[in-house]
Amino acid sequence: MLDHAANAEAIIDGTKYTLYVFSVLTWTLILFKIWQLSRNSSYNQKFNEAFWDSADLTAAEKLPDDIARGSKARIARAGFQWLRESANTMQKSLKFHGEPTELLEHALLVQMQKEQHSMEGGLNILASIGSTAPFVGLFGTVLGIMHAMHQITASGSTSLEVVAGPIGDALVATAIGIAVAVPAVLAYNMFLRSVKQQRVELENFVASFMHNAFGKD
């Protein structure tokens, strides 16, 4: 009986500690994503203004490093690199076989996908925590109630004072699970919307870069 009680308490405590780890990880990711996405948005805004204020692509390529930062700047650098390599390659390799517009677009889109992957980093973890934390808490509650029932049976009393305490302690795990899941789900939805908005801006930038590189849509 003592071994059973000790094992049950260890599992319940492990469930709570798991939820605490989930909570710390959730808030760490929330703070990091706020910093990452807001910084990237600020960099993109500054670069976008400087880029389109440039006389041409040659001038835009020479923007200083303190301005050429962020996902748009990295996409532009990928485009500039492809244009330089295409112009300087005397004997075209397979990398440059095909329509120049399609090849440049491919280079820009590859970099854009890298930027999107970076912006989406951590969102799967938030989604997983948001979906599993309530069930982890419920698991702890079920075990806690089972453990409480064993204690009540062993005590031989069914008074409210004997029953309410252990049952109330068992329900704490579910409450913790919900408290962990709610900010994770809200943060996931907020960051996903922000990533989608920034992706649209990157797609528009790629299209505009193509137009200026070849003077046509």
Cβ–Cβ under 8 Å, residues 41 and 176: no
Tell whether the model's pLDDT for residue 133 goes beyond 80: yes
Share of the chain above pLDDT 70, in %: 83
Token pair 């003592």 is found at 2
Please give the pLDDT value at position 111.
Answer: 94
More confident of the two residues 167 and 46: 46
More confident of the two residues 147 and 80: 80
Please give the pLDDT value at position 158.
Answer: 60
**How does the average pLDDT of the chain come out, rounded?**
85
Task: Provide the CA 142 distance to its chain's centre, in angstroms.
Answer: 32
Locate the domains of the chain by residue range: 9-132+177-214
More confident of the two residues 3 and 116: 116
Cβ–Cβ under 8 Å, residues 23 and 180: yes
Tokens of 74: 């990295």
Please give the pLDDT value at position 115.
Answer: 94
Helices 100-120 + 71-88 axis angle, to 10:
150
Residue 204 to residue 68: CA distance in whole angstroms = 18
Secondary structure letter of residue 62 according to DSSP:
T
Secondary structure letter of residue 98 according to DSSP:
S
Secondary structure letter of residue 65 according to DSSP:
T
Cβ–Cβ under 8 Å, residues 197 and 142: no
Tell whether the model's pLDDT for residue 217 goes beyond 50: no
Nearest C-alpha neighbor of 184 from the set 35, 11, 21, 58: 21
Mean pLDDT calculated for residue range 146-162? 66
Which of 97-111, 125-139, 156-170 tops mean pLDDT? 125-139
Mean pLDDT calculated for residue range 75-95? 79
Long-range contacts (CB closer than 8 Å, 24 or more residues apart) made by 11-18:
11/140, 11/143, 12/140, 12/143, 12/144, 12/147, 12/170, 12/173, 15/136, 15/137, 15/139, 15/140, 15/143, 15/173, 16/140, 16/172, 16/173, 16/176, 18/136
Angle 92-96-98 from CA coordinates, rounded to 5°: 115
Structure confidence by residue, pLDDT tens digits, 197-215: 999 999 999 999 998 887 6
Structure confidence by residue, pLDDT tens digits, 22-74: 999 999 999 999 999 999 999 999 999 999 998 888 888 898 988 889 999 99
Tell whether the model's pLDDT for residue 4 goes beyond 60: no
Token pair 């909570």 is found at 23
Tell whether the model's pLDDT for residue 166 goes beyond 70: no
pLDDT band at 161 (very low <50, low <70, confident <90, very high): low
More confident of the two residues 37 and 2: 37
Nearest C-alpha neighbor of 213 from the set 96, 81, 44: 81
